Structure 1
């Protein structure tokens, strides 16, 4: 079930339906349902997503997931809480514009997508070659998953050696257009993109170590 039939909600509804899911969409404005297109076969219900009667009409009791993606933070989070706490739907996500509030609700166990933060991070990743803006950050803000710049002098070294040098973990590489989960003896190749799980306190160290040629120990 989706609450909000704007550009995000309508696109999400069509994508889910193409994947074979049955979709119900709730919106306060019936004209918004036009965005779904004439081929949409799901259910549309006028109303707000935190109204119990509206949710029941849309079929919340049989829903496997709920996405609150309207243009209002308050409506989204209230709807997400009602669905989770009243109807016991555990698979819930809410779009939040205020990143500070998003972090609060993440700590309360409600997954959120902070629109402004996500957009800013996407731009920053493209501006900063070192890749210091994270692809993912845990709710506490202490660990991040990031693309790291690796000096070409590391080519030929193993993932285990990269991890030992940095104290970080490299959960996957992007190689020739495909993501791979490396083993400790996987060799870093020219053109590989490395993604590291890093504690914030070690971020500068990891970027410095991998952004420079490896240190050869004497002896």
Structure 2
């Protein structure tokens, strides 16, 4: 498809890379020609220097023949304006990044009045992901499918766990848990595992299960699952705002440390139930005075990745808190796995994943469509949910007879609100939602899981 991206910041660049890998034709518009030159050098994209809200610039970018326009500049108003002008030229799909909390209650109004296909808020989405992880403090990543009927949880096997030296095929019987291990990370390798692989302490595994059965699995395998009661946040930005509101609603005590007095006063007015501390959260003495040694969750969410990494390392070394670190810079991803940072949240990738999910669903006109897509295992694998339609090639066939592509696992079938962890004799029926996990990219419909 022909896709125009307005804004070549962290999100725009990450999104362009994802969409190019998917085989789409990408044009990026930005006022900064130097940034465009760098991205164009590394990716097969066309860069247009100019204002994305300009009619002439939009025409130069090819809006009159584009399928989708995605506006992800730093200005919410600019993004909305770009989408509005694009719709005046052509009836294409438009996606706007809108980050300011003041628009939170106006999303549906904006979508309707401006005829937007999607409004994405990276900070709010990242906050939701962090809150989900805090439900399972030992989890590295938590994703939901089918409106919460199924969860995918990633966790590191701790010392003393019964999972150590256990073959994957024996988990269900030995623990009496109906879960499926779908990804194994070991020695920086990501594997879609077979049942005879033996798990080891330090392995990172991703499991698919119903929420109650996931909790049971964690408990029986010796992995802590108690929900946190209090959280300390360093940095008072948008993610912190959205997260604090969510956590307070869940009954979790929240303390935010922010060095900007004006931001502190604003947060204090918006969230009277939170404790707002005006101090430098990068000062270890301040952190200790405010209770880092005893807090159950520690969240470095400043605007500086380097500060967040250092704070995470400090917290991991002196406290038992669940640590969730925000990282935005792409070059740092290569070293994240080597540092003990706890869970890592990438707002730019979250945004790209949601938009990519929409693009894939839009592209599918036959067979089955992608309902949900998540990048897991440091973006080295994907978990996808497909809705199965009547004319699909795989219906009414036993899973054990399907010629599946390599490095792919059918992990779950959702049928009439019921969750099935599939075995070889199970079949896929029209109307099912099927969840697969794979290290392959570019799956658009359920039939893509089959060898040609």
Query: Scaled by the length of structure 2, what TM-score is found?
Result: 0.34
**Deviation digits for residues 147-168 of structure 1 (CA, Å, limit 9, x no counterpart):** 1343533222222222453222
Secondary structure of residue in 2 paired with 1:42: strand
CA distance in 2, matches of 1:82, 1:38: 29
Residue aligning to 2:47: 42
Asked if the contact 2:155/2:204 (under 8 Å) is kept, the reply is yes
Residue 197 of structure 1 and its aligned partner are, at CA, apart by 1.8
Residue aligning to 1:216: none
Residue aligning to 1:137: 144
Q: Runs of 5+ in structure 1 lacking a partner?
A: 213-219
Residue aligning to 2:163: 154
**Deviation digits for residues 47-84 of structure 1 (CA, Å, limit 9, x no counterpart):** 33xx887644312466576543233557657839959x
> Structure 1 or 2: larger strand share?
2
- Are the structure 2 counterparts of residues 37 and 138 from structure 1 closer, same or farther at C-alpha, using a change threshold of 3 Å? same
Residue 19 of structure 1 and its aligned partner are, at CA, apart by 11
CA distance in 2, matches of 1:66, 1:179: 34
Asked if the contact 2:184/2:190 (under 8 Å) is kept, the reply is yes
Residue 171 of structure 1 and its aligned partner are, at CA, apart by 1.2
Q: Runs of 5+ in structure 2 lacking a partner?
A: 41-45, 224-452
- Are the structure 2 counterparts of residues 18 and 145 from structure 1 closer, same or farther at C-alpha, using a change threshold of 3 Å? closer
Asked if the contact 1:162/1:210 (under 8 Å) is kept, the reply is no
Residue aligning to 2:91: 86
What RMSD, in angstroms, separates the aligned Cα atoms of the two structures?
4.7
Secondary structure of residue in 1 paired with 2:219: helix
CA distance in 2, matches of 1:75, 1:163: 52
- Are the structure 2 counterparts of residues 76 and 182 from structure 1 closer, same or farther at C-alpha, using a change threshold of 3 Å? farther
Residue aligning to 1:115: 123
Q: How does 1:174-185 map to 2 (within 5 A)?
A: 174-185=185-196
Secondary structure of residue in 2 paired with 1:46: coil
Q: Does 1:3 align with 2:12?
A: no
CA distance in 1, matches of 2:204, 2:163: 12
Asked if the contact 1:24/1:44 (under 8 Å) is kept, the reply is no
- Are the structure 2 counterparts of residues 159 and 14 from structure 1 closer, same or farther at C-alpha, using a change threshold of 3 Å? closer
Residue 178 of structure 1 and its aligned partner are, at CA, apart by 0.6
Residue aligning to 2:366: none
Residue aligning to 1:193: 204
Aligned partner of 2:28 among 1, 25, 29 = 25
Paired positions, count: 198
Residue aligning to 2:243: none
